[in-house]
Amino acid sequence: MSILYRSDAPRAAAWASYFAEHAPELDFRVWPDAGNLDEVEYLIAWQAPAEFIAKLPRLKVFFSSGAGVDHVDFSAVPKHIPIVRMVEPGIIDGMVEYVSLAVLALHRDFFDYVAAKAARTWDPLEVPPASARTIGVMGMGSLGSAVLQRLANYGFRLRGWNRSLRHLDNVESFAGPDQLQHFLKGCDILICLVPLTSATKGILNRKLFSALPAGASLINVGRGPHLVDADLLEALDSGQLSRAILDVTDPEPLPAEHPFWAHPRVFLTPHVASMTQPESAAPILLDNLRRHQRGEALLNVIDRSRGY
Ligand code: GLV
């Protein structure tokens, strides 16, 4: 019984050493040393190209090495093979850190002070209490919920929007397309953490921006295609939005001539908000794999029809 790891190469050694120590009975292989592909029953990978999946006749489970599965071609994975997304504490902690940093940097005007320092200007801005700001999170899954819970510690007013209604302490919840406008109306800082699906592609658009209070800010830690770039530029230039912090773009890497690079009110990071951490992900994956071997239901299986 073999497991094949075919993902982020620099982290492969950490995955292999976890399995060697905690599951020495399992034959853990790292691509390209895959051995006989006929023996591979479990695949840990980012992509699942059809021609590769076709070479794995005994494949039982496809484990995505990342939290999002929007890049996976579901049709390449035969229907009887479950696709499992990565939900692990390391990814969640990374996202909570990044979003907290971004929210606090906006809340405490750090980007204004970066510009003020460059201009040698001593110009104190008013410091409103956290309770005077409303932060809205689109997507209340494992990442969005963890972000909301941490932000509650700072005393922000919190709102969450989700496909189906979710309740969280200290969070005003909204659900579905019907309540989106109402949700947006109160958000001073909007965070996009919804999965990318045909229903959410382009959701960060002119109509959405115009429903936010004037001067709101955007943090996109979802996927680049959630955002309509031209609509963001227009909203920033008209003052409808004051800033955008983008960890994801479309395409990635963002081409050097793209207007986001030079825009003074767009802050960019190269898709680093959060990454799967082998130390915390390997135990979760091994536990899930053992559930499968015992004939129990796998955790975090995606719903192909929903897209996540
Ligand atoms: C990263 O973007 C992931 O989906 O894990």
Each residue's pLDDT tens digit, 256-299: 999 999 999 999 999 999 999 999 999 999 999 999 999 999 99
Where are the domains positioned within the chain?
2-88+276-293, 91-268
Would you state the CATH architecture of domain 91-268? Answer: 3-Layer(aba) Sandwich (3.40)
**Contact criterion met (CB below 8 Å) for 130 and 156:** yes
Q: Strands across the sheet with 134-138, in order?
A: 171-175, 157-162, 134-138, 189-192, 216-220, 241-246, 266-268
- Judge whether 2-88+276-293 and 91-268 match in fold: yes
Each residue's pLDDT tens digit, 136-185: 999 999 999 999 999 999 999 999 999 999 999 999 999 999 999 999 99
Active site residue: 6, 223, 226, 243, which one?
223
Active site residue: 108, 150, 263, 271, which one?
271
- 271 is a catalytic site residue: yes
User: Which residue do the tokens 């109160």 mark?
Assistant: 186
Q: Please give the mean pLDDT across all residues of the chain.
A: 97
Superfamily of the domain at 2-88+276-293: NAD(P)-binding Rossmann-like Domain (3.40.50.720)
Asked whether 66 lines ligand 1 (CB < 6 A), one says yes
- 208 C-alpha to center of ligand 1: Å? 24
Return the amino acid letter for 81.
Answer: I
209 three-state secondary structure = helix
Residues 6+ apart with CB under 8 A from 91: 66, 67, 143, 274, 275, 276, 277, 281
- 274 C-alpha to center of ligand 1: Å? 7
Handedness of CA 107, 111, 117, 121 (dihedral sign): negative
Query: SS3 letters for 133-184?
Result: CEEEEECCCHHHHHHHHHHHCCCCEEEEEECCCCCCCCEEEEECHHHHHHHH
- 294 is a catalytic site residue: no
Residues 6+ apart with CB under 8 A from 121: none
Each residue's pLDDT tens digit, 229-258: 999 999 999 999 999 999 999 999 999 999
- pLDDT for 48 equals 87
**Contact criterion met (CB below 8 Å) for 51 and 262:** no
- 83 C-alpha to center of ligand 1: Å? 15
Asked whether 67 lines ligand 1 (CB < 6 A), one says yes
Each residue's pLDDT tens digit, 186-220: 999 999 999 999 999 999 999 999 999 999 999 99
Orientation of helix 89-107 relative to helix 142-152, angle to 10°: 50
